[in-house]
Amino acid sequence: MSHSPLLGLNPISSEDQTALDDAVAQAKAAVLAFDPELIILIGPDHYNGFFNELMPTFCIGSEVTAVGDYLSPAGPLNVPSDTAIALAEHLMDSHFDMAVSRRMLVDHGFSQALQALWGDELKTPPVVPIFLNAVAQPCIARMGRCVELGQAIGKFLDTLPQRTLLIGSGGLSHEPPVPTLEHPDAAVRERITIKQTPTLLERDAKTERVKAAGMALANGEDWMKPLNPEWDLQWMEAIASGELASLCAMSEDSIAKEAGNSAHESKTWLVARSALPLNTELPCPVRAYRAIPALIAGYGLMLMHTQQ
């Protein structure tokens, strides 16, 4: 499931809005009918919880709070800490050197998916959040390692009795104005390095900058990198089929070049999909895609399930 901080903030066409609303409604109905007893949620961060002073590639949260950026809700997530730590131990035994946060902060990259399915109060089933670094080089997760992580998570879930929903939140093609350490302004570099809580004024200014970037992309201004629907649909097709070799054959540089710096977020889908049987096409009752420049989003949503 893609996310966008601009949902509800920038205007989009009625056709796009209807398509998004219908896809989310279908996914929500299917998820609530499935009635999951556990959620594994893989998501990125946008310099709200993780900073360059210490940037893990992957991190499991045992106690997690949503900061409430843009229109996403704030508050604690319903994290089963024992399950989170048990998963971390399993992954360590599977030769993944996992980071663990006992006080993880997450932003819309996690909470928007939960908000769409369960509402603003985040009254969800127990959810184990797994952070995936998608913005801070050089420790962005590599494709093959994402597949291996997903497979290791799947083996852990095979030992549990709960009905489990895996959510990959992020992507697809997009390049919002997220700064990097190559930024010429030392103050900007400092802001994405040292962990800090922005003031309300700083948060509002950031929101306005991102809104303006979305409208610039919608207006075709050339300083914003365009979306790449062809890349997005290729990604979704590989996820649907479970034949992930074509994705893993992509070079890391090509992802940013073809789909934008933040397209690395799509690897959250790769982790979630790899926990399910690979090289087989699973039932996919919900599959939708819209390229929506005003949201800076190649917005995709897929719901698939294993055979019951």
Confirm whether 46 is a catalytic residue: no
Q: Is the dihedral of CA 102, 103, 109, 112 positive or negative?
A: positive
Catalytic choice (108, 183, 264, 305): 108
Residues whose CB is less than 8 angstroms from the CB of residue 47 and which lie 6 or more positions away in sequence, other chains included: 135, 178, 179, 191, 192
Which of 260, 259, 195, 203 lies closest to 230 in space, CA to CA? 259
Catalytic choice (3, 46, 174, 264): 174
**64-67, strands of its sheet edge to edge:** 74-76, 64-67, 104-106
- What type of residue is 109? G
Confirm whether 95 is a catalytic residue: no
Structure tokens at 8: 């509800």
Which of 66, 54, 45 lies closest to 193 in space, CA to CA? 54
Q: Label residue 201 exposed, middle or buried (CB < 10 Å: 0-12, 13-18, 19+).
A: exposed
Catalytically active residues, by annotation:
108, 174
